[in-house]
Structure 1
Amino acid sequence: MLWEVIHILYTIALFILAGLFEIGGGYLIWLWLREGKPYYWGIGGGLGLALYGVIATFQSFPSFGRVYAAYGGVFIILSVLWGWGVDRKTPDLYDWLGASICLIGVSIMLFAPRN
Structure 2
Amino acid sequence: MVAARSLALFVLAAVFEIGGAWLVWQGLREHRGPLWVAAGVVALGFYGLVATFQPDGHFGRVLAAYGGVFVAGSILWGVLADGYRPDRFDLAGAAVCLAGMALIMYAPRGG
Pick the TM interval, shorter chain.
over 0.9
Per-residue deviation, 1:9: 1.0
Q: Does 1:36 align with 2:36?
A: no
User: How many residues are treated as equivalent by the alignment?
Assistant: 110
Paired residues for 1:18-97 under 5 Å: 18-97=13-92
Deviation at 1:45, TM superposition (A): 0.4
Deviation string, structure 1 residues 16-64 (Cα, Å, up to 9, x no partner): 0000000111111111111111211111000000000000000010210
Distance, in Å, in 2 between the alignment partners of 1:15 and 1:60 is 11
For 2:96 and 2:47, the matched residues in 1 are separated by 24
Unaligned runs of 5+ in 2: none
- Matched residue type, 2:23: L
Q: Could you list the per-position Cα deviations for residues 57-90 of structure 1 after superposition, in whole angstroms to 9, with x for gaps in the alignment?
A: 0001021000000000100000010011111011
**Aligned partners of 1:73 and 1:103: how far apart in 2?**
5
Counterpart secondary structure, 1:80: helix
Residue 53 of structure 2 aligns to a residue whose secondary structure is: coil
Q: What is the aligned-residue RMSD (CA, Å)?
A: 0.7
Stretches (4+) displaced over 2 A: none
Partner residue in 2 for 1:109: 104
* Identical columns (%): 46
TM superposition score normalised by structure 2: 0.96
Structure 1 unmatched runs, 5+? 1-5
Q: Out of 93, 98, 101, which is 1:98 matched to? A: 93
Matched, 1:10 2:5: yes
